[in-house]
Amino acid sequence: MTYLYPQIIFSKLFGACLLASLMLLAPLTAQAEYGDVVLNNRAEQSGMRPVIFPHWFHRIRFKCKVCHTEVGFEMRAGANDILMADIIDGKLCGKCHNNKIAWGPQNCHLCHSGLPGLKTGIRGGDSTGGPGKW
């Protein structure tokens, strides 16, 4: 067995305790609806509020495969590069948000409805609060 210096042991113990406390705190602070996605790779840089995409609202109306095959969204928050120009051209969100199936892209504030400063990613409680968070 390798010999560990006391300070290394101490720092590892401290790290473990920190990890434990973070895991305990994480689920308590999560208040978003499960599966909500924040899209802010481009929004705030362009002077708009971040987009909040609610999975719960969409899955009542569409099966997963509609967006994740026919529309072409990758199943990883942040992995899709979404430009307003594409949406206006009828791609990605614009396949539905075209004033025919759902409201059109002129309704900026219905999608761009997030609090300033949010980071791109998937939200909502009920994860392990641990390594499952990416």
Partner 1 sequence: MVQNLMKGLLALCIGLGIAQGAFPAEPASTEKPAWLPLAQDDLHDPEGPGIKFLQEPAESLSTLPSDVVGNRVNWVRALDKGFIDPRINLYSNKKQKVLDLDVIRRKTGEMNMVRFPHRQHTEWLDCTNCHEWLFKSKAGATKFSMFDVLKGDFCGRCHGAVAFPLTQCNRCHSVPRRVSATPAADAGRK
Identity of the residue, 82 or 97, whose beta carbon is nearer to partner 1 in the bound complex: 97
* Site residues, partner 1 (CB under 8 A): 1, 4, 9, 12-13, 16, 19-20, 23-24, 26-29, 31-36, 38, 49, 52, 54-57, 59-66, 68-71, 75-77, 95-96, 101, 107-116, 118, 122-132, 134
**Nearest approach, Cβ of 23 to partner 1 (angstroms)?**
3
Identity of the residue, 28 or 85, whose beta carbon is nearer to partner 1 in the bound complex: 28
| Tokens (6 digits) for 38 | 């924040």
Question: For the CA atoms of 99, 48, 92, 39, what is the dihedral angle to 10 degrees?
Answer: -130
**Nearest approach, Cβ of 44 to partner 1 (angstroms)?**
12
Name residues whose C-beta falls within 8 Å of residue 52's C-beta, 6 or more positions apart in sequence.
Answer: 36, 37, 38, 39, 111, 113, 114
**Nearest approach, Cβ of 47 to partner 1 (angstroms)?**
14
**Nearest approach, Cβ of 85 to partner 1 (angstroms)?**
20
**Nearest approach, Cβ of 41 to partner 1 (angstroms)?**
16
Distance CA 85, CA 72 (A): 16
Burial class (CB within 10 angstroms; exposed 0-12, middle 13-18, buried 19+) of 38: buried
Partner residues linked to 53 by β-bridges: 37
Identity of the residue, 20 or 83, whose beta carbon is nearer to partner 1 in the bound complex: 20
Distance CA 1, CA 55 (A): 50
